[in-house]
Amino acid sequence: MREPLNKSLSVLAVPAFNDNYLWLIHDGRHAAVVDPGDAQPILAALAAHDLILVAILLTHHHADHVGGVQTLLRHFDIPVFGPAGEDIAGVSQKLSEGDTAVVPQLGVTLSVLEVPGHTSGHIAYVAHGQPWLFCGDTLFAGGCGRLFEGSPAQMVDSLGKLSSLPGDTQVYCAHEYTVANLRFALAVEPDNPDLVARMASEQAKRARQQATVPSTIALEIATNPFLRYRQPAIVASLQASGRIDGRQSDPVEAFAALREWKNNFK
């Protein structure tokens, strides 16, 4: 059972760099920012919406997620939540699995999940009272992050945690990679009707210069190959392409082969 919705809260997307989304959770007055890789777009959004920043939430140490922290701290004396398993300058509250990040000015609490794979200490935040997941670069719309520091087994476990969330959970990932991810997904599972329909929908959004995120957990389960790597059609594609042995049945090896295929997909 979820807590009652706090209907006064909303999430604002702040575009940055070429394809990042920085997320502002706000109530019309106070705001918390997730993964501020660049301070200037956040400062501009705060000014445009007359918001006061009261907290920073970090998922992992990559520069496009933490690069704006020090500048923001020069403007605001606020807590910085981040993963206990990574050394990130400015973090004042280090979080592990089962911990919570509490932002009293917003009346919001977020549970922490450890989701290593993309980086060794990556965490995700699940909001209480709202169907919101802030997952950094672990789960993408239609894809998942590269395994820069973790193992395939770790990423399989991490994605399993996220896919077990309620189906209506909104997936606030950090990049606009969706159409490229779905192009790969269609190469792997071309006869998935949900995937075909999703590609058409997401391409139409991009043609209108609209964001394709947030997604939902239910949509990811239906169309994301990195949550569907056990499906017979995907296993058959891996076998037909010679990426796994026809007799192989180990799911982690199948996932690893799928991720390697995506790494080199054009």
Active site residues: 60, 62, 64-65, 118, 137, 175
For residue 82, list its beta bridge partners: 94
- The reply, when asked if residue 35 is annotated as ligand binding, is no
- The reply, when asked if residue 194 is annotated as ligand binding, is no
- The reply, when asked if residue 122 is annotated as ligand binding, is no
- The reply, when asked if residue 118 is annotated as ligand binding, is yes
- The reply, when asked if residue 61 is annotated as ligand binding, is no
In terms of Cα–Cα distance, which of 130, 157, 166 is closest to 8? 130
Report whether 201 contacts 162 (CB < 8 A): no
Kindly write down the DSSP assignment for every residue of 148-200, as one continuous string.
SSS-HHHHHHHHHHHHTS-TT-EEEESB--HHHHHHHHHHH-TT-HHHHHHHH
- The reply, when asked if residue 64 is annotated as ligand binding, is yes
Helix (H/G/I), strand (E/B), else coil: 93: strand
Q: List C-alpha distances in Å: 237 to 177, 209, 224, 242, 259.
A: 22, 33, 15, 9, 13
Query: Known binding site: residues?
Result: 60, 62, 64-65, 118, 137, 175
Residue positions forming the annotated binding site for Zn(2+):
60, 62, 64-65, 118, 137, 175
